[in-house]
A and B are shown apart, each in its own frame.
Chain A
Amino acid sequence: MNSLSSIFPIYKRELRSYFNSPVAYVFIVVFLVILGWFFTSNLFLMNVASLRIVFELVPLIYLFFVPAVTMRLLAEEKKSGTLELLTTKPVRDIEIVLGKFFAAWTLLAAALAPTLLYLITIMSLGKIDIGPVICGYVGLLLMGGVYISIGLLASSLTENQIIAFILSFLIVFVLFMLDKILMYVPDAFASTLEFLSMDFHFSNIVRGVLDSRNLIYFGSLLGFSLFLATVSLERRKW
């Protein structure tokens, strides 16, 4: 048997559980309503053919929404005892983590997909530079991936979903805020803090530069969180 073959059934089950319950629909609808409200109200005010609003607003919405999407992923299985079922099947812990990660990521992508309508609308209104837009969406997906991996880690640490939510919110909030407090920090730390902040890398990408430094930042944060989540799942064996 392929060593990672269980990812797909776990992914499928998780995704189905999102879409069989109101969770996915509430998430997508609220996400689009908030985004749509600010997008349309600002678009004509600024009178510029750009998706800047989307790329400014989505990271903010992520702060609350990603923890809400990820909080139940492992905490619920722990609480209901189904994790015992899952981990006594011939399934590696990493397969569980990855299956759930991709399911949440898919949900996030499903919420982002309708915003492509904005792009189509704007393209009909004026000329838009498509390069940065593509980069921006890649950035949004990467950032969402990092937040999901952090949320998954938080969810693996507790069987209480509220605690998982607050914990992952705190972590992503700190990552988000790091480059907004630079002026209060001694210069020696400033550049380090800036490099660690989410926004610094994201704004680089949105400018249309897919620099390897930014990709490595997102990739390593994502990988490290997923690794920690797997270790935390194995903690039952310690």
Chain B
Amino acid sequence: MSIAVHNLTKLYGEQKAVDNISFDVKTGEILGFLGPNGAGKTTTMKMITCYMPSTSGTVEVDGLDNTQHSLEVRRKIGYLPEMNPLYLDMNVLDYLEYSAQLHGLTGSAMQHRLKEMVHTCGLEDVRHKDIGELSKGYRQRVGLAQAMIHDPEVLILDEPTSGLDPNQIVEIRNLIKQLGRAKTVVLSTHILSEVQATCDRVLIISEGKIVADGTPEALQQQFQGAESLTIELKTNAVNPVDQIAPKLRTVGSVVSVEVLSTRDSLSRYTLHIEKNADVRENLFRLAVVEGWIILEMQRKTTSLEEVFHKLTTT
């Protein structure tokens, strides 16, 4: 079950919420939509789920155009909207039954799915409670349960872990991963660790455009810039700023040296280093020659956070 998005554009008046984006999602792939708030993640998802028409461009789910075969497409999709709207006056089981019936499930097949979803989403204890009485975490699970009630082949989840506590987040992520093996999952988030933990592929979008597309690892490598190294030295130098910093600067590939702090015989520096260079060995040799003691050495590489920051701020 694949999703194909071609040249999708959405205008809100003059403003381009989504600007001519195209991408494919293959079966069994978990695609993470990453972007700052207002980047167009939710709008794109609303167009995929047939809630909103596009201004131009097409969305195909399993080869079916989602405006011409809207009902067919909606039958294949399970959707968790952004704010997870629920009927607060219904109890959990009634609500899931309602969702199942809207998907045309009946009789024992429906009962079986209800039981399964209540179990999978950990809703046994609250299944007879009104949704309005539930905590945010439980509500989120109810939202997930209704999205998956008809065993859809495509899952569209708009910020599935928002409002959950760390344990629940891990649970939900595992659930999504487990489901993602057989299904096509698109999830949006602005939590970067979530993408690293769950997604096979990341799309970073900013101001309605796709600015990066690839596996989390590939993106990290692609956008790896200058590295930096933080070291702490113990020396006899009286004035480290004058005596040590220039010597550090002479090590090959070091671009600049920043003195972070000096206190008695201890001093800390950040060395900015050329791309793809490793100066740790040379630094060690220099320290031996000069008689410095290295107390700490920490290498920083570009994190997905930095990639994200670079791509989405201009």
Contacts and interface: CB of A to CB of B under 8 A. Distances in A.
Interface of A: 1, 5-6, 8-10, 12-13, 16-17, 20-21, 80-82, 84-92, 236-238
Contact of B87 (A13, A92, A237): A13
B245 interface: no
The interface centre, meaning the residue of A9, A10, A12, A87 with most chain B CB atoms within 10 A of its CB, is A9
A91 B53 contact: no
Given A13-B90, A17-B89, A6 B51 contact: no
A85 B81 contact: yes
Identify which of A5, A6, A89 gathers the most chain B CB atoms within 10 Å of its CB: A89
B85 A85 contact: yes
Contact of B52 (A12, A17, A237): A237
A186 B183 CA distance: 69
Contacts of B74: 88-91
8 contacts: A6-B101, A81-B83, A81-B85, A82-B87, A85-B79, A88-B79, A91-B74, A238-B53
B273 interface: no
A20 to B, nearest CB: 6
B5 to A, nearest CB: 17
Per CB-CB distance, the 5 closest pairs between chain A and chain B, nearest first, are: A81-B85, A9-B101, A89-B102, A90-B75, A90-B74
A87 B98 contact: no
B98 A237 contact: no
Contacts of B75: 90
B229 to A, nearest CB: 49
A92 B72 CA distance: 11
Given A84-B81, A88-B51, A237-B52, A17 B90 contact: yes
A84 B83 CA distance: 10
Contacts of B81: 81, 84-85, 88
A91 B74 CA distance: 8
A84 B85 contact: yes
A125 B99 CA distance: 51
Interface of A is mostly: helix
A8 B46 CA distance: 26
Nearest to B143: A85
A89 B50 CA distance: 9
B85 A237 contact: no
A92 to B, nearest CB: 7
B87 A84 contact: no
Contact of A87 (B51, B90, B103): B51
B57 to A, nearest CB: 15
Nearest to B53: A237
A85 B131 CA distance: 15
Interface string B85-127: 1111110001000110111100000000000000000000000
B98 A13 contact: yes
A89 B72 CA distance: 10
Nearest to A83: B85
Given A86-B102, A90-B102, A17 B50 contact: no
A85 B86 CA distance: 8
Contacts of B88: 80
A92 B71 CA distance: 8
Nearest to A2: B104
Given A6-B102, A82-B87, A86-B102, 5 more contacts: A13-B94, A21-B89, A88-B77, A89-B99, A90-B103
Nearest to B94: A16
A90 B51 contact: no
A90 B71 contact: yes
B52 A236 contact: yes
B49 interface: yes
Contacts of A8: 101
A91 B86 contact: no
A196 to B, nearest CB: 36
A105 to B, nearest CB: 20
Interface string B125-168: 00000000000000000000010000000000000000000000
